[in-house]
Amino acid sequence: MDTEFEDERQDAEETVPDDWMDLIADSPAATEEPSEKADNDKLSLITWNVDGLDIENLPERSRGLLSYLNLHTPDVVLLQELIPPYAHFLKKRTGDYLMIQGGEEAYFTGMLLKKSRITFVESEIVAFPTTQMMRNLLVAQVVFKGQKLCLMTSHFESCKAHTAERMKQLRVVKQRMKHAPYDVTILFGGDTNLRDYEVTKVGLPATVCDVWERLGKQEHCRYTWDPTANSNKNISFPCHFRFDRIYLRPAIKVGVPRLVPDHMALVGLEKLDCGRYTSDHWGIYCTFSVE
């Protein structure tokens, strides 16, 4: 593991803000009345790298995440780069959701499943054997309105130099999607760190779609990591990437309802009162209709 990366991880573990737990008592709960009502017949999802390794203004930024959950009331939330106190905070403040974690130490992924809408069946953590950055695949089998869903999230290997490992990790997801039972709908969302040429090299099964592409490649939600617009990181050169992606493989068994994407938008675009954004990534909010 890179020395710089290891130092960043250790710093995050050792310097969690002392006032973090105070927010559990005074921050808004995700059970409050939302300002937007979800369409009862649609599945809604948010995927977001919340940048827990950046501890600056972390309590305020975690409270920002809760405000977006209150606003959109998603059925499924896929989170990357959680750290233990962030996960504990969310468990305390999201009573309407079941939380599943992809780890317990350092940093990891997680899922929030709305209890009134999603029936949890089982989950597993799939190891990436050659990762140098403690990455894995978190998988949950659930039921939504009688339909079997397989939810997956991951935080693929970071940085341009780790393209080979990142493509290995995409192949693991690809095989899971390719060989899943035909009556199961598969949704993957996460911080893939992928470049388009890497996806082309690996290839996706014909039954799998990139949701952003399926919805017409809308320019306003193309770039999810964009330091030219997001000032949380001090990047001295212009760059932007579509690191965060959602992949869908609808059920392909005859007679089983199919989920189709119908809306996508970026969230987290507003600065918080502390002068920073909820994360250095924009989150993706997406809804799916039953066909």
Q: Are 280 and 60 in contact (CB under 8 A)?
A: no
The answer to whether residue 28 scores a pLDDT higher than 60 is no
For the chain, what are the domain ranges?
Answer: 3-290
CA torsion, ordered 237, 68, 218, 205, to nearest 10 deg: 100
* pLDDT tens, residue by residue, 123-163: 999 999 999 999 999 999 999 999 999 999 999 999 999 99
> CA–CA separation, 224 vs 84, rounded Å?
24
Q: CA 179, 182, 183, 189: dihedral to nearest 10 degrees?
A: 50
Pick the closest to residue 12 from 108, 70, 62, 83 (CA basis).
83
Q: Is there a contact between 189 and 197 (Cβ–Cβ < 8 Å)?
A: no
Residues 6+ away with beta carbon under 8 Å from 101: 82, 87, 108, 109, 110, 138
Q: Which of 191, 226, 244, 280 is catalytic?
A: 191
Quick one: pLDDT band at residue 17, thresholds 50, 70, 90?
Answer: low
The closest alpha carbon to 176, from 137, 203, 215, 147, belongs to 137
pLDDT band at residue 39, thresholds of 50, 70 and 90? Answer: confident
Q: Collect all residues with Cβ–Cβ distance below 8 Å to 78 and sequence separation of at least 6.
A: 45, 46, 47, 48, 109, 110, 111, 151, 153, 189, 190
Q: How far apart are CA 142 and CA 56, in angstroms?
A: 35
The answer to whether residue 115 scores a pLDDT higher than 90 is yes
* C-alpha to C-alpha distance for 256 and 211, rounded to whole angstroms: 20
- Asked whether the predicted pLDDT for residue 67 surpasses 60, the reply is yes
Contact 154, 137 (CB under 8 A): yes
- 41 classed as catalytic: no
What is the reported pTM?
A: 0.90
99 touches 112 (CB < 8 A): yes
Output phi, psi for 256, to 5 deg. Answer: -90, 130
CATH says 3-290 is which class? alpha beta
pLDDT per residue as tens digits for the range 193-246: 999 999 999 999 999 999 999 999 999 999 999 999 999 998 888 899 999 999
Using only the alpha carbons of the chain, give its radius of gyration: 18
How much of the chain, in percent, has pLDDT values that exceed 70? 87
Q: What is the residue whose two structure tokens read 């050792």?
A: 14
Percent of all residues in the chain with a pLDDT value above 90, rounded to a whole number: 84
What is the mean pLDDT of the segment spanning 9-24? 48
Residue that is written with structure tokens 């989170």 in the block: 79
